[in-house]
Amino acid sequence: MVDNRIGVLRNLTNILTLLVVLGILSGGMMVYRAHFAADTKIAKLEDDKRVLNEVVSHLTGERRVADLVVTDQHLDADGVPVTTLLFVENGRNGTDLPGRSFSVRGKLVHVDAMVIKFDAEDVKANDPLRGRSIALFTRIYGDRQNPADAEPIDPPGEPPAIYRDADPTLAGFELKLWNDFWHLAADPAYAASKHVRVANGESVWGMFDPDRLYTLTLENNGGLNLSSAPIKGIYREMLKQAH
């Protein structure tokens, strides 16, 4: 009888021990799962934050599209300022084009362009063709002359220089938009079918002085901006030698 009781107690002890071990293992598994779930959630939140930061950075980003430098400025026989500018565009293949020289009447210089802004969702997604606004410069002129008398930046009837050596797919897509520019500007339904949010002309202008570098930038989700900074010494010497 005593042996039976001892056996029962041993069995109960073994069962209790097993239950305790199972409880510990179960608890450990729950802690592991909770920790793993927390790590996974944190990783997802960090990934979502990274993607959001990339989207915001792209939406608010801008790129350089042209530089201008005053290479000469003097008064003509009538006392009107004549400003000669070196205009360097950044081509659609990412490299700078050879500089072109323009002389305008006045110190207050206007740079005109056609600008196409795409749907925000395409910009947000960084679409390979519609992920950034595009601009096509048309003319440069001074405040002391008639804009209609301005020399065009690209000769009429010729492909714009910025598409020289550009990716054929990109060039073909954008050139078609430029050919349809006024249709896009006048017909909202047609513009929407091309994912175009805005198609309009823009003009940036400011007082242009020697010894400064003027930079035109284009916002990914917006239009043109003009900024300037003093020319660095090495570039100043190069300009003097060229002049």
Same domain, yes or no, for 203 and 135?
yes
Burial of 69 (0-12, 13-18, 19+ CB in 10 A): buried
Same domain, yes or no, for 200 and 87?
yes
Residue ending a domain, choose from 35, 59, 83: 59
What's residue 181's pLDDT? Answer: 98
Same domain, yes or no, for 39 and 118?
no
Give per-residue pLDDT as tens, 108-129: 999 999 999 999 999 999 999 9
Same domain, yes or no, for 76 and 143?
yes
Q: What is the DSSP letter of 152?
A: B
Residue ending a domain, choose from 30, 59, 88: 59
- H/E segment holding residue 84: strand 81-89
What's residue 232's pLDDT? Answer: 81
Number of domains in the chain: 2
Residue 218 predicted with pLDDT over 80: yes
Q: In 3-state terms, what secondary structure has residue 217?
A: strand
Same domain, yes or no, for 50 and 74?
no
Burial of 149 (0-12, 13-18, 19+ CB in 10 A): exposed
Q: What is the mean pLDDT of residues 205-232?
A: 97
What's residue 199's pLDDT? Answer: 98
Same domain, yes or no, for 74 and 180?
yes
Same domain, yes or no, for 51 and 128?
no
Q: Tokens representing 114?
A: 């056609």
Residue ending a domain, choose from 43, 59, 75: 59
Pairwise pLDDT comparison (225 vs 155), residue with the higher score: 225
Same domain, yes or no, for 48 and 112?
no
Same domain, yes or no, for 19 and 103?
no
Q: Tokens representing 165?
A: 């050596």
Q: Virtual CA dihedral for 24, 28, 33, 38, nearest 10 degrees?
A: 130
Same domain, yes or no, for 146 and 175?
yes
- Residue 114 half-sphere exposure toward CB, CA atoms < 13 A: 18
Give per-residue pLDDT as tens, 21-57: 566 667 667 766 766 666 677 666 666 555 555 555 5
Q: What's the start-to-end Cα distance of the chain, in Å?
A: 120
The answer to whether residues 133 and 220 touch, using CB atoms and an 8 Å cutoff, is yes
Residue 203 predicted with pLDDT over 70: yes
What's residue 164's pLDDT? Answer: 93
Same domain, yes or no, for 22 and 71?
no
What's residue 222's pLDDT? Answer: 96
Domain, as residue range, for 193: 64-242
Same domain, yes or no, for 39 and 75?
no
Q: Hey, CA dihedral for 141, 162, 65, 69, is it positive or negative?
A: negative
